[in-house]
Structure 1
């Protein structure tokens, strides 16, 4: 398991750190943050943001799922509300990690 903080995009610019998708990836919440996922694999894959707990109606919070088509890159805005109150982190679940990389950035 690895925990990542968002790279800040500044006026001077930044080269975001590219990471290889792996089981147990977690993100430290940040304002105006997003992940940039590149799927170099041969078929579409998904990244799921595991949102624990229940909403005000007592129903399980939905887990946002985003599909990244094979051979493409997609940016996904990350919401602070997706953090687990137990550890304060946002958990990612990848349907595939083969040839999948991502950056975590904030503006």
Structure 2
């Protein structure tokens, strides 16, 4: 498990660090919609699930957000509503598979 903060991308800046996907990855510092880049170099699609805590305005549990990530680069947005106040406002990422260096990601904010 690793907790990663969004990186700042600049025109004259360095290369973004892509992290190997691992069980129980978490993202800190999601205070606005935050772009996430996933590079899936595996042989098949993988699934990423974020399970927001709490209930909606009707008192029903917030549904999980599920992305099917095809082979190649994929972009998605992490939202502040995905944070868990009981876990210092971290966003937990649940991958269907974590095949080493062939599935990498970075949050950019």
TM-align CA RMSD: 1.3
Alignment partner, residue 8 of structure 1: 8
Asked whether the 8 Å contact 2:33–2:80 carries over to 1, the reply is no
Structure with a larger share of its residues in helix: 2
Conserved? CA contact 1:3–1:26, under 8 Å: yes
TM-score scaled to structure 2, two decimals?
Answer: 0.88
What residue is the counterpart of 1:54 in the other structure?
55
Unpaired runs of at least 5, structure 2: none
Structure 1 segments (4+ residues) deviating >4 Å? none
TM-score (norm 1): 0.90
Alignment partners' CA distance in 1, 2:18 and 2:31 = 18
Aligned residue in 2 for 1:86: 86
**Contact 1:8–1:14 (CA under 8 A) maintained in structure 2:** no
Q: Which moved more, 1:93-102 or 1:5-14?
A: 5-14
Determine whether 1:102 maps to 2:105.
yes
- What's the CA shift string for 1:8-65, capped at 9, x where partnerless? 1234233111100000100011434211111111111111112112112111101111
- Stretches of structure 1 that go unaligned for 5 or more consecutive residues are none
